[in-house]
Structures are given as structure tokens and as C-alpha cells.
Structure 1
């Protein structure tokens, strides 16, 4: 007994005197900063694609918080504790930004419910999920409802653009009334389907193309970039995964860029500033749970996502590939972590896994 008391005393003293340093980041703080960082992009998307984006974000956030409360209640946990970490809010926010502006309410309901219940809580909740929940929900509805998921509105300034708040509400929540909306393919989809026109002819003949990356998409991606730089500055995550992804896309686009002919897959700037590139680089693959953990691992993880995004865009069946690429690299994250463990202080090399005692 005295020996036990002595050990307890030593352990308690060591715990009190060890040079521990507590970081300022908490889950609530990190998630609130992510929400703040998406505001410029949310404003840009609402300006260029109408009120549907804002309605989507609000509706998806309500669904995410409701699903979180329901599952946590079933698990007999504190509802207020889990809702106050804002992780459910971020999942709903990201899905609301990723879905088409006039996505029907039931499609958002399916995507967010699947993301929260299956993608997050089926594996044990926050910190246990091997896949990015938002991307799981997005891929589910993209595969199941391709027509609704490709119905993007024309950007602001083009014929068919509808900026009326009431029309957006009636399109998303019909309530017996339907509003006909003109849909238009995104610049990535138009370029992927092009077989005969040169890049210059494509830019002149199709109104969706404007500037470097298509009407509206340049400013939306720059807004996500600004938000991502803000998060890096606030040390929410490191630069490694975003830089790895963007560098890989730029390298792939440069290698397979064939100028301005009809077989061109688009310039590096076009791929960097169009579609969901910046959203994926700074708000999707930086998920600390489903991505790699070491700095070297994050670079490899981001580069893998970037390569697959370009491959899917250019030769795959979908105009954008951020969601598929993220989920595929989520499966590879444990292996990347195994081979990129940093060296522990006091050891000459990194310890990769448990030693073999045989």
C-alpha cells in the first residue's frame, strides 16, 4: 500500500510539473473559423447563381443539426454538448455550398441525412469517421440523381438567370407550384464534352465561358482561396494538403495541355480556378479526421487528390472529381500515415507500426 501511494504521488507530481503546452484550438473554435471563412464564397455564389445557394445552405444546416440531435439523443448523450461543437453545422454548410442552387429539398435531405447518420455516426461520431461525411452524402446523390445534380443555373448576366427569392423558394420547396428554370452546364462539363471546337471558338460560342475559368467561377474560387488562406493564417490547418492538391492539378494540366485545339483539356489556370477546386483544396481535404496526419503525409494525400481530380475531369464520366478523389484518398490515408510517420524525439528513425516479435 505505501508503495502504491508513493507511485500515485510521483505520478501526480509529474503530471503537475511536466512542460505541457495547451493549444488554443478547440473543436468549437476551429469549426466557427471554418464557417467564417466560407462567408465570402457564399456571398459570391449567391451573387452569381441566385438565392438558391443561400437557401440550400440554411436548409442543409437545419437538416444536419436535426440529424445530429436525433442520433445523439438515441445514443443517450448530451445534445447541447455535441451541437455546440459546430461540426454538424459545417457538414451542412459544405453540402449546401456543393449542391446545385436549385437542388430540390428532398435531394438535400437525402444527402445531409446520409452524411450525418451513415458517414459520421455509424462509425462512432466525430473523430472516428474514416471518410469525409459531406463527400459521402454528395457522391450518394450524384450517382443516384444525376439529372438533378447537374442542373446548374446560368450565371448572373446570362439569359435564364433567375435572382428572385420567391422563385428560388418555390423551385426548392414546390408546395404544389413549380417554377421552370433554365439549366446550363458548367464550364468543366462543356469543355469535357467538346469534340470539334477550338478553345477560342468554344469561348466565343458559349456564353458560360468568360475570363479564365468561366463566368462567376473565377470569383467564387478566389473567394474560397481567400478563406483558405485565412484558415492557414489562423493555424486551423497547415498548407501541405492544399498546396499538394493544387500543385498536382497544375502539373497534370500542364503535362496534358495541348494548346487551343479541339483536343485541349484546358489550361492549368482554368482547372485551378473553375469548379470545386478551391473548395476541395481548403475546405474538404483538410479534414483532420479522414486525411493524413503528418506534414509529409498531407502533401502526398493532397497530391493524390489533385491527380485523381484531373483524371476524372479529363477522362472520367463526371465533369468534376473532387468528391470521388477525396473518398478514394480517404481509403489510402492509413497507409500514407504508416509510411510517413515522423521520427520520434530520441530515436534515429521513425517507428512504422508494431515491431515483429517472431
Structure 2
């Protein structure tokens, strides 16, 4: 028998070349199509908001880790970069720079590093920053630049409501969906992204391209996006069939607002989502239900951010109930 000692280490014991850094930069690549659309629609405003959010997130992570926590600096792993991009994607392109910086501080300092950094945060950092800004500065956070087409370009010349905002306000004042049909963008405009709203939520086709890239690269699985969007479609479809003059059709709910952005890029966050397929489905259904309830019956026309953060809090409970089968465990089988 060899005298070489047997080393028993903690799991995982299966290794690959897929690092967290590579996964993060895959997400960055997937967000490029939506970013290009935002540049086309909102111009320099989109570039300023995105640049400020990225730089401030990276800077705050460096300063807090270097001088407050006195731990290893991890700004090169890509997580702070993604937080900055996703935070920017949830903001209007005319938001004051100082508010973007405040949102970045809350996202990185409060929602991420105060829990221990990447891998330990309970809530999606970008969404925490966005919700903080929405609650603290509701006027500035709901002054959406509107895409105005002229002979040469599309620019953020005026501000107005998002499609969901137009519907919410119109129904409150007794208008019907037939009356509102001329005020909201067409399905093609929402698919392409020629609408008002946050930087990264307008173009459904650009977000779908990025989402499919992540699925093909196996960065995310299809369970959360399909279950979340499917739940939104089914619930809004039921209300629409019952009263089509008072409720928007499911396609509007899917293409407008942050449904697709949230489904592919924020609800699927590897740290704040369940680890099992069954858990992912339950998690996504919960997000879909809460989103629809807020959209149809709440004060806000949009509810994706709130829904994801609420369900983030349930992830530990979901993980404790839907546990993955241990390697080597016996599978119970029925004898026929």
C-alpha cells in the first residue's frame, strides 16, 4: 500500500474551465444588442447613464473592498460591471448623474457587499438600486424620454408615459382599451424598441437575442424565463378574455415594461435564484403572479422589479424544500 496520504476535500469535485468571470462576460455580450438599440433610440443620454452607472459601481466596489472591508478587490470578475449595466438598463436616459451615483452606491454597497459580496447577496443588486431610486425619487424616475422620429434620427426630445403607464392612467379615467389603442405603440414598435421607457426594456427582439445567447451558452436555463413569461401571459390572457375593454392583451404585457429584461437577465441571476429546476419554476411563477397583480391592481404600472426582489427573499425557503438529489443516493422505484 502506498504511503501517499489520501486527501478528502469539500465538493465540488467536478471541475471545468467555466469560471464565474467567463459567465459574467457572457452576460455582458448578451446585453450588447439591447444597449445598441438604446443608443439608437435615446442617443447620448443612454451612453451617459450607462457609463456613469458602470464607472460608479466599479469605483464603489473598489473603494469599499479596499478601504472599508479591507478584503481582496474583485472588480475584475465582471459582477460589478453587470450590476452597472443592469442598473442603467432600469433607468430613464435623462436621470440626473448624481442620482445614478446614489443608486450605484445602494446597489453595490448595500445590496451586494454588505452581505459579503458576490455569491452571498440575497437580493439582485441592480434591482435594489433601482427600487431605492424609484421610491426615493418617483418623479425623476418616471419622466420617461419618448422616442420622437424625425427626418434624420430618433432622439429623446420629450418625456411621456410608458405603454403600461398610458394604459394604467387611461383606465383610471374611464377610458377603454379601444380608446387607448391609438395612444400606445404598436406591437412592432415594442418589438423593435421604438418606445419610451427605461434604457434596456424597450426592444423585445434585442433582449430575446441576448437571452437566447445565454441559453445556448448554458449560462442560464430556459425554466425561469419560460415559466415567468408564461405565467404573465396566462394570467393577463384570462383577464383580457373576461373583459377586453378593461385589460390589455397578453402580448402588450410581454413586449412592454421590463418583463423580458427581468425574465432573462435579472430573475436568472445565479446567486439570487433557486438551484433546482423545480425551484426555478416555482420562483418564476411567483414572479409572474406578483408582476400581474401589481400591474393590474397596484399603484405602479410596472411590477417586475418588486416581484423579483420579493421572490429573492423566498429563494432560501425554496432551496430548502426543493433540494437536489445527492450524488450516490438511491432512487426509489415502484415495482409493477
* 1:62 and 2:55 correspond: yes
Residue aligning to 1:138: 130
**Count of paired positions:** 320
Write the distance in 1 (CA, Å) between the matches of 2:150 and 2:6. Answer: 70
Write the distance in 1 (CA, Å) between the matches of 2:109 and 2:29. Answer: 25
* 1:78 and 2:90 correspond: no
Write the distance in 1 (CA, Å) between the matches of 2:72 and 2:273. Answer: 27
User: How far does residue 77 in structure 1 lie from its aligned partner after superposition?
Assistant: 2.7
**Equivalences for 1:2-81 in 2 at 5 Å?**
9-12=4-7, 20-74=13-67, 75-79=69-73
Residue aligning to 1:174: none
User: How far does residue 129 in structure 1 lie from its aligned partner after superposition?
Assistant: 0.6
Write the distance in 1 (CA, Å) between the matches of 2:145 and 2:186. Answer: 16
Question: Is 89-98 or 252-261 further displaced after alignment?
Answer: 252-261
Q: Deviations for 1:167-198, whole angstroms, at most 9, x for unmatched residues? A: xxxxxxxxxxxxxx631000001111223333
Write the distance in 1 (CA, Å) between the matches of 2:312 and 2:221. Answer: 18
**Structure 1 residue ranges without an equivalent (≥5):** 165-180, 351-358
The Cα RMSD (Å) is: 2.6
Q: Deviations for 1:91-132, whole angstroms, at most 9, x for unmatched residues? A: 001011110010111111111110100000111111111111
* 1:303 and 2:285 correspond: yes
Pairing partner for 2:194 from 216, 225, 229: 216
Write the distance in 2 (CA, Å) between the matches of 1:331 and 1:158. Answer: 46
TM-score of the pair, normalised by structure 1? 0.83
User: How far does residue 293 in structure 1 lie from its aligned partner after superposition?
Assistant: 1.0
**Equivalences for 1:100-179 in 2 at 5 Å?**
100-157=92-149, 163=155
Residue aligning to 1:226: 209
Pairing partner for 1:318 from 297, 300, 325: 300
Residue aligning to 2:316: 334
Contact 1:212 1:273 in 2 (8 A): no
TM-score of the pair, normalised by structure 2? 0.88
**In terms of Rg, which structure is larger?**
1
Residue aligning to 1:203: 181
Write the distance in 1 (CA, Å) between the matches of 2:61 and 2:88. Answer: 16
Question: Is 99-108 or 215-224 further displaced after alignment?
Answer: 215-224
Write the distance in 2 (CA, Å) between the matches of 1:260 and 1:212. Answer: 24
